[in-house]
Amino acid sequence: MGCNASERKDEPAKGSITTYKQFFEAISKGAKLVVLENSVIDVSKFASMHPGGAEVINKYVGKSLSIHIFRHGN
């Protein structure tokens, strides 16, 4: 997977998630993580600010958003 957390505020700053196992273990413990390109993003704080609401964001937890983001041109 090779997903590294960057230093943006909406991404984990605690370290790097580099395997699927770490990714899904974090989600099983309640983390709200998605993948965008090669970054794992913590969307827990952003979900309530999303124009479509937290429900839209929450349905993508544990998945890649890349195709959805780039398909809509955002």
Is residue 8 within 8 Å of 46, Cβ to Cβ? no
Evaluate if pTM is beyond 0.85: no
- Per-residue pLDDT reduced to its tens digit, 55-67: 888 899 999 888 7
Does the pLDDT at position 72 exceed 70?
Answer: no
CATH of domain 20-71: 3.10.120.10
Write out the DSSP string of the chain. Answer: ------SSTTS--S----SHHHHHHHHHTT--EEEETTEEEE-TTTGGGSTT-HHHHHTTTTSB-HHHHHHTT-
- Where do the domains of the chain lie? 20-71
- Per-residue pLDDT reduced to its tens digit, 2-51: 444 443 444 443 567 888 899 999 999 999 999 988 889 999 888 888 88
